[in-house]
Amino acid sequence: MRALSLFWLAAALSAGADDTFLIRGAVIHPVSGPSIENASLLVQDGKIADIGLKIVVAKGIKVIEGKGLHVYPGMIDSATEVGMSEIGSVRETADVSELGDFKPQLRAAIAVNPSSEHIPVIRANGITAAMALPGGGVIAGQASLMYLDGWTWEEMTMRRDAAMVLSFPAINTFSFSFTEGVVRGSYTDAKRNYDRRMKQLREYFESARRYQKAKAAGGPGFKTDLALEAMLPVLEGKVPLMVSAVRERAIRDALAWAEKERVRIVLTGVRKPGNTLADLKAKNIPVICGPTQALPMEEDDSYDAAFSLPAELHRAGVKFAFGSFGNQFSRNLPYQAATAVAFGLPYEEALKSVTLYPAQIWGVDQIMGSIDKGKSADLMITDGDPLEVKTQLKRLFIRGREVDLESRHTKLYKKYLARP
Amino acid sequence: MKNRLFVLCLTGWLSLAGRALAETPPVVAIKNARIVTVSGPVIAKGTVVIRNGLIEAVGDSVQEPADAWVINGEGLTVYPGLIDALSTWGLPGAQSQTASPSGRRGFVPEDPAPAPTPAPPGRPTTLTTPSAPPARGPEDRPYNTSFLLAADQLDPADRRLESARGAGFTGAVCFPNRGIFAGQGAVINLAGQRAGSMVVQSPAGLYLTLRGGGSFGGGFPGSLMGVIAYIRQIYLDADHYQKAKELYAASPLGNKRPDYDKTLEGVLAAPRVLMPAQDPKEIARMLRFAGELKLKAVLYGVHEGYRAADILSKYDAAVLVNLRWPEKSRDADPEAEDSFRMLELRDKAPSTPAALAKAGVKFAFYLGGLDRSSDIARSVRRSLDAGLPQAAAVRALTLGPAEIFGVADRLGSIEKGKIANLIVTSGELFQEKTEVKYVFVDGVKFEPSPEAPPALTEVSR
């Protein structure tokens, strides 16, 4: 009797639960395949249970009428400071970087504030997950893939160690001063500095390898080291290194280094890849594109250098995803992709590079990135193309749970609308 | 080993030969030489007579005096001694000069200069502690050492003087060069028993830079707009200071005396102001600025002057052109690409003197840290190749600077009564094969060693 009533209770909960519902009669854009007109989508327990023209469901299940609306998978921002920094210039609210050069044991997830005012703002544009990147030093720590919904950082965390962030040494002869502008300095000094930092990096990886061997050998003398422990998944190829490299030389160096160290890398911050594209393709190295809405790096660069870089990567067959490398401006992620479309990137590729491709790059494409059976129900319902600025986001679901679209922006909007 | 000893002896002997021959007779005649007077026509064959450090006579029919030490000038050419119009020769404590790759600066500090902030009035000045707190505003007078006189800081033992003479230079206009209001220059001769005997004219002008505290921790001013605003404020303050002093001098009774301010005293004492400007925008800005502040401005740098000859002639400005043309640094990143703008500047900067000469702009050359005789000649040749007449190039290193600094009645040409600063060369100046045979400074003869010793290079690199 008691068991029976519990069963009924569970059933009732399930039927009325937030994360079980049916979207009916909408245009569904799975991204992984062609769009389906006038289709239905069943979400059960936060997962996508079925997609089809006609889905029969039990009575009592919540139904969302999707007539005239579009369903897309939620977008993924591949590089942000979301939740780690509230106001950049107020030190107390910024928890992005730690002191020291090598700190692989740091995890960005822990620093993410679930109550950050930026999160609702970003979500309101259809972004459901973001990589939170730690900064500072050579190895900054672990980047964490976060759902943009949850009461605690633990709840938000999708993958704590989605990548290890490495600021790759580069020979930089530029310096800037307010009275002189950009000044070029000594190459010899820059090279010496670079050599020193490369040596440090090599030595660090060597010590991580020695630690790996010592751990495998076991024995009474073995002492656990948190930092080197965190390097093990990197050495084993389970976690990719997110390597920043802007120009051709740095990219070449990073590729050669990664090959030598036998580690998996994802390039970030690429601006002037030069002749390295074929290599990137051949070695199957993905790239996280920074904001396309950016100025050219040097005065003689073409005005559209940043706008057309994604199309260039696409033509070369390099896999890439977009990252905002920012905080509140993460909300512009769809428009960064859209700008690339205006400069030669096929539309489907642009959409994939904010949904399916990041999921693949971060190794979570079994779980998110497209509308497919079994994946997490990270969905947005819109009145049109999400890369289009005019498009309105109607509803947003993360892991099947509907998310409030109210944000600081809408609150301010309402406040000033009501001004007498 | 033997060889090395020999070389050592030889160099020792050569550098001895390069020093002053203290027993130069008071009367010297150079006869049968080609004489480039600069102020007048070239004398194909003539005689120059030097007596007691002055030019006693020059001409094609001048007879050498009976008491004269005669130099046979057959096949040789006599020029007025060259003058570096903006220099630190004789000032061993000055920052070394290097050309800025960006072309923004005349002189470049090798390391950030300590902020020479004079202590606020009322507090004792502690010259030995450079750790004054960063300036907060113009009232702290940051980077203002306008009261420094180059003439007070001269060191006749500066090793660079010797190689400068070897390159044919007998004079220079030297400036302290740290800070924004760096200090007062002096026209000097590049030899003398004592510092005092080297000075021809002091003060010769105030050297201004736009070099503030940079960004962090340098204090006010940390930006270009801050520097400009600061310079403007200093001139307003100086004006007020002068009026207050005059009022007080007229009637001290019942009036409060104005505080003494050495930074403004220096500003008021300057007969002219040297201001940096490279491109047409900066040139126009500086000329307007100088007009607003009622300053007699001399612009220096001016590498992009080939595009600004019209503005310069409109304002009737005097210009010091940096002979150290912009070049790719030897220590540049081999993979860095230079902008088209930079490439164009490198290509066209040497055409600036020709453009200025054509437009009738008064200009002089300065070396901008060039030190080897061959480098200087090569730099001048580049402007000759770009269309500058030889005579104009000679003038820009002799009478040109003398006129700009108001000493044309004493220096810069071979005329009766002028200071006997002369050089005798084996041929036309700036040509590759031409050697400087004799140098006369104040009538004292120096014989440069065949190729200038590398002393200069050591000091200023």
Q: How far apart are CA B411 and CA B421, in angstroms?
A: 7
A173/B337 touch (CB, cutoff 8 Å), yes or no: no
**Cβ–Cβ < 8 Å for A146, A156:** yes
The overall average pLDDT reported for chain A is 92
**Cβ–Cβ < 8 Å for B58, B47:** yes
Go through chain A and tell me how many residues it has.
420
Q: How many CB pairs under 8 A join A and B?
A: 55
Beta partners for residue B321, in sequence order: B301, B365
Query: Hey, how many other C-beta atoms are within 10 angstroms of the C-beta on A419?
Result: 5
Chain A CA closest to residue B212: A179
- Select from A178, A181, A186 the Cβ nearest to the Cβ of B102: A181
Considering only CB atoms, which chain B residues are within 8 Å of A180?
Answer: 100, 102, 104-105
Chain B CA closest to residue A299: B339
Looking at CATH, the fold of the domain delimited by A75-368 is given as TIM Barrel (3.20.20)
B339/A298 touch (CB, cutoff 8 Å), yes or no: yes
Q: How far apart are CA B418 and CA B189, in angstroms?
A: 13
Considering only CB atoms, which chain A residues are within 8 Å of B105?
Answer: 180
- Looking at domain A1-73+370-420, does it have CATH number 3.30.70.980? no
pLDDT for B450? 62
From the number of C-beta atoms within 10 Å of its C-beta (0-12, 13-18, 19+), residue B213 rates as: buried
Q: Residue type for B298, please?
A: V
Chain A CA closest to residue B105: A180
Query: Hey, how many other C-beta atoms are within 10 angstroms of the C-beta on B150?
Result: 30
A178/B224 touch (CB, cutoff 8 Å), yes or no: yes
pLDDT for A18? 77
Beta partners for residue A50, in sequence order: A42
Q: What is the SS3 assignment for B340-352?
A: HHHHHHHHHHHHH
Residue B186 half-sphere exposure toward CB, CA atoms < 13 A: 25
From the number of C-beta atoms within 10 Å of its C-beta (0-12, 13-18, 19+), residue B79 rates as: buried
Say which range, A66-80, A217-231, A346-360, has the weakest mean pLDDT.
Answer: A217-231
Tell me whether the omega of the peptide bond preceding residue A346 falls within 30 degrees of 0, making it cis: no
Chain A CA closest to residue B209: A179
pLDDT for A10? 46
Show Cβ contacts of residue A351 under 8 Å, excluding neighbours closer than 6 positions.
Answer: A29, A31, A72, A337, A386, A387
Chain A CA closest to residue B213: A179
Residue B60 scores a pLDDT above 50? yes
pLDDT for B418? 97
**Cβ–Cβ < 8 Å for A97, A108:** no
Q: Which helix (H) or strand (E) holds B292?
A: helix B280-292
B204-241 pLDDT, tens per residue? 999 999 987 765 667 889 888 999 999 999 999 999 99
Tell me whether the omega of the peptide bond preceding residue B203 falls within 30 degrees of 0, making it cis: yes
- The C-alpha of B438 sits at a distance from chain A's nearest C-alpha, in angstroms, of 39
Q: How far apart are CA B66 and CA B69, in angstroms?
A: 9
Rounded CA Rg of chain A: 23
Best CA proximity match to A333, nearest among A289, A364, A367:
A289
| Sign for the pseudo-dihedral over CA of B179, B180, B186, B190 | positive
B434-453 pLDDT, tens per residue? 999 999 999 999 998 765 44
Considering only CB atoms, which chain A residues are within 8 Å of B336?
Answer: 173, 184
> Which region holds residue A16: left if phi is over 0, alpha if psi is between -120 and 50, else beta?
alpha
Q: Identify each DSSP E strand in B11-68 by its residue range.
A: 27-35, 43-51, 54-59
pLDDT for B371? 87
pTM, entire model? 0.80
Chain B CA closest to residue A249: B335
A300/B339 touch (CB, cutoff 8 Å), yes or no: yes
Mean pLDDT of B344-352: 96
Q: Which helix (H) or strand (E) holds B186?
A: strand B181-189
ipTM over 0.85: no
B223/A178 touch (CB, cutoff 8 Å), yes or no: yes
**Domain chopping of chain A, boundaries:** 1-73+370-420, 75-368
Chain B CA closest to residue A191: B333
- Residue of B143, B331, B337, B343 to mutate, interface with A, max A Cβ within 10 Å: B331
- Select from A179, A182, A187 the Cβ nearest to the Cβ of B332: A187
B275-308 pLDDT, tens per residue? 999 999 999 999 999 999 999 999 999 999 999 9
A32-80 pLDDT, tens per residue? 999 999 999 999 999 999 999 988 888 889 999 999 999 999 999 999 9
**Cβ–Cβ < 8 Å for B366, B324:** no
In angstroms, the Cα distances linking A33 to A36, A241, A348, B188 are 9, 30, 10, 84
**Cβ–Cβ < 8 Å for A27, A39:** yes
**Cβ–Cβ < 8 Å for B440, B420:** yes
B87-120 pLDDT, tens per residue? 999 998 776 554 333 334 433 333 333 344 444 4
A174-198 pLDDT, tens per residue? 776 655 667 778 899 999 999 999 9
A190/B341 touch (CB, cutoff 8 Å), yes or no: no
Q: How far apart are CA B159 and CA B401, in angstroms?
A: 23
Query: Hey, how many other C-beta atoms are within 10 angstroms of the C-beta on B317?
Result: 24
Mean pLDDT of A139-145: 97
- Residue of A178, A188, A251, A300 to mutate, interface with B, max B Cβ within 10 Å: A178
Q: Cα A152 vs. chain centroid, distance in angstroms? A: 19
A180/B333 touch (CB, cutoff 8 Å), yes or no: no
**Residue A373, both tokens:** 């059976």
Going along chain B from its start, the domains and CATH numbers come out as: 82-410 (3.20.20.140)
Q: How far apart are CA B356 and CA B75, in angstroms?
A: 32
B101/A183 touch (CB, cutoff 8 Å), yes or no: yes
In angstroms, the Cα distances linking A273 to A51, A171, A285, A312, A390 are 41, 15, 13, 10, 33
Termini Cα distance of chain A:
61
**Cβ–Cβ < 8 Å for A165, A141:** yes
Q: How far apart are CA B21 and CA B2, in angstroms?
A: 30
The confidence band for B412, taking pLDDT boundaries of 50, 70 and 90, is very high
- Select from A188, A247, A248 the Cβ nearest to the Cβ of B331: A188
Mean pLDDT of B150-157: 94
Q: Using an 8 Å CB-CB cutoff, list residues of chain B that contact chain A.
A: 100-102, 104-105, 210-212, 214-215, 222-224, 227, 329, 331-337, 339-341
Best CA proximity match to A144, nearest among A133, A154, A155, A153:
A133
Residue B20 scores a pLDDT above 60? no
Chain A CA closest to residue B339: A300
B341/A299 touch (CB, cutoff 8 Å), yes or no: yes
A1-73+370-420 and A75-368 agree in CATH topology = no
In angstroms, the Cα distances linking A199 to A150, A187, A253 are 42, 18, 13
Beta partners for residue B448, in sequence order: none
A298/B223 touch (CB, cutoff 8 Å), yes or no: no
Termini Cα distance of chain B:
30
**Cβ–Cβ < 8 Å for B350, B326:** no
- The C-alpha of B287 sits at a distance from chain A's nearest C-alpha, in angstroms, of 19
Beta partners for residue B207, in sequence order: B183, B274
**Strongest mean pLDDT among A16-20, A83-87, A386-390, B453-457:** A386-390
Best CA proximity match to B88, nearest among B144, B148, B153:
B153
Q: How far apart are CA A120 and CA B283, in angstroms?
A: 52
Considering only CB atoms, which chain B residues are within 8 Å of A178?
Answer: 212, 214-215, 222-224
- Select from A181, A190, A300 the Cβ nearest to the Cβ of B333: A190
Considering only CB atoms, which chain B residues are within 8 Å of A171?
Answer: 333
A375-391 pLDDT, tens per residue? 999 999 999 999 999 99
Best CA proximity match to A350, nearest among A74, A317, A342, A331:
A342
Q: How far apart are CA B396 and CA B160, in angstroms?
A: 22
pLDDT for A181? 65
pLDDT for B451? 55
Best CA proximity match to A324, nearest among A120, A78, A136:
A78
**Residue B439, both tokens:** 């140098």
CA angle (B245, B248, B253) in 5-degree steps:
165
Q: Cα A417 vs. chain centroid, distance in angstroms? A: 34
pLDDT for A220? 85
CA angle (B453, B455, B460) in 5-degree steps:
135
A184/B329 touch (CB, cutoff 8 Å), yes or no: yes
Best CA proximity match to B187, nearest among B273, B323, B86:
B86
- Select from B223, B337, B340 the Cβ nearest to the Cβ of A179: B223
Residue B155 scores a pLDDT above 50? yes
Considering only CB atoms, which chain B residues are within 8 Å of A298?
Answer: 337, 339
Best CA proximity match to B87, nearest among B264, B195, B205:
B205
The three-class DSSP label of residue B353 is helix
Mean pLDDT of B56-76: 94
Beta partners for residue A102, in sequence order: A139
B102/A177 touch (CB, cutoff 8 Å), yes or no: no
